Amino acid sequence: MKIEINDKELIDTIVKDVVEQLKPLLQQSVKNDDNELMTVSEVAKYLRVKESWVYEKIHTREIPFRKVGKFPRFRKFDIDLWLVNPYHSGLDFYNLSENRKGVIRNVRTV
C-alpha cells in the first residue's frame, strides 16, 4: 500500500516527531561501557567473587588482564567474553595459561 503526502509541513512534523522519539535510543547505543578498564576490586564485585580469587587468576594467567604500570586492569568486554568461553580466539592477545610474561601472539585493534 502506497500513500502519497503532498503537504510538506505535515511531512516535516512527522519527521521531527520520529527523530525526537529515536534520540533516546540512539544516545543509549552510543554509550558503550565494554571498553572500560576495571580494577581488581571492580572485577571482583562484577563477578561477585573475592579479590583474592581475581589475584589468583591473574597469577595463573587464567583471566584476561593488562598491566597499566604495575597495576592489573581488565577490559569489561574481554571479561564478558572470557565468561562465555575462556578459550575464545578473541582472547589470544592475553596468552591465557602461559607463564611467559610480556609475550604477545596476536595484536588486535579495539
Domains and CATH numbers, the chain: 37-94 (1.10.10)
18 pLDDT above the threshold of 50: yes
Looking at residue 30, its pLDDT comes to 45
Cell of 89: 580466539
CB 54 within 8 A of CB 81: no
Mean pLDDT for 19-46 is: 78
Mean pLDDT for 26-53 is: 83
Looking at residue 108, its pLDDT comes to 52
Cell of 78: 574481554
User: pTM for this structure?
Assistant: 0.59
Lowest-confidence region among 20-29, 40-49, 54-63, 73-82: 20-29
CB 34 within 8 A of CB 76: yes
